[in-house]
Amino acid sequence: MIEYVLFVPAPLDRKGKPAFINANQRHHWAVKAEMTRNWRTMAKLAATNAGLPKGLERVHIVAYVNKANKRPYDAHNLYPTAKAAIDGLVDHGLIVDDLNDHLEGPDLRQGATREEAGITLTIKEIQ
């Protein structure tokens, strides 16, 4: 089984802070769409720059949320962030779609504190 690890840096909001998409936030639809587009673009660029393969049949993804501080948070509230990043992997061509036939997960976990906030995706090719 082949495994890939990809760090996707968090896009920054207008104040220069990491713009995670939280399921508890109540943004205007246009603001949420922009945040989603930014994560999707960052993930596609990260996958392209890392030379991830294209056309894998089926993968399992674990998403580790990396914050730049040690304040407590609920990693599962950041599912919309992981979803947008996975859509970026689909845009890259890693898998043809994020339907259950091609994707198992994402499983969300608290990741290590990093200087640069983002998410680390562990991608395992499965049968």
Report the CATH architecture of 3-125.
2-Layer Sandwich (3.30)
Rounded Cα distance, 61 and 94, in Å: 12
Mean of pLDDT values over 46-67: 97
Annotated domain spans of the chain: 3-125
Instruction: Check whether 127 has a pLDDT greater than 90.
Output: no
Rounded Cα distance, 41 and 91, in Å: 9
% of the chain surpassing 70 pLDDT: 100
Taking the model in full, what pTM does it have?
0.93
Residues 78 and 65: beta-carbon distance below 8 Å:
yes
